[in-house]
């Protein structure tokens, strides 16, 4: 199912107002960087678990975090073969993602 997300509306507003918008949330690097600063952890120590391939997984990976896609929420199956974002792994739900992260950390 095709659906419009906030990006389409932001582009329309930019065009209509003849201004360039500034992204202040996901997937901006400033957003993820602020979160890392707040918790005082290095990006390579963090795993972002999310249901959006671009905003959650892609945004986190651009900042050096690992990104896990969960098949819940707004997830759609075509995202498993996204043209430019490849999740570190895909889980059916948050519980499975946590189990896989813990298991990988033990190794």
In the beta sheet, which residues pair with residue 89? Answer: 68
Q: What is the pLDDT along the chain (107 residues), one digit of tens a residue?
A: 667 777 788 889 999 999 998 777 888 899 999 999 999 999 999 999 999 999 999 999 999 999 999 999 999 999 999 999 999 999 999 999 999 999 988 87
- The enclosing H or E element of 67 equals strand 66-70
Peptide bond into 104 cis (omega under 30): no
Domain residue limits, the chain: 6-106
Q: Per CATH, which fold does 6-106 belong to?
A: Rossmann fold (3.40.50)
pLDDT at 96: 97
The verdict on pTM exceeding 0.85 is no
Tokens of residue 101, six digits: 């992260």
């Amino acid at each position: 199912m095709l659906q419009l997300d906030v990006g389409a509306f932001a582009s329309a507003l930019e065009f209509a107002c003849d201004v360039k918008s500034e992204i202040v949330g996901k997937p901006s690097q400033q957003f993820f960087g602020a979160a890392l600063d707040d918790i005082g952890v290095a990006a390579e120590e963090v795993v972002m678990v999310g249901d959006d391939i671009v905003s959650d997984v892609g945004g986190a990976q651009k900042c050096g975090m690992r990104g896990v896609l969960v098949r819940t929420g707004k997830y759609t199956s075509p995202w498993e073969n996204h043209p430019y974002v490849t999740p570190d792994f895909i889980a059916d739900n948050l519980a499975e993602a946590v189990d896989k992260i813990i298991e990988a950390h033990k190794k």
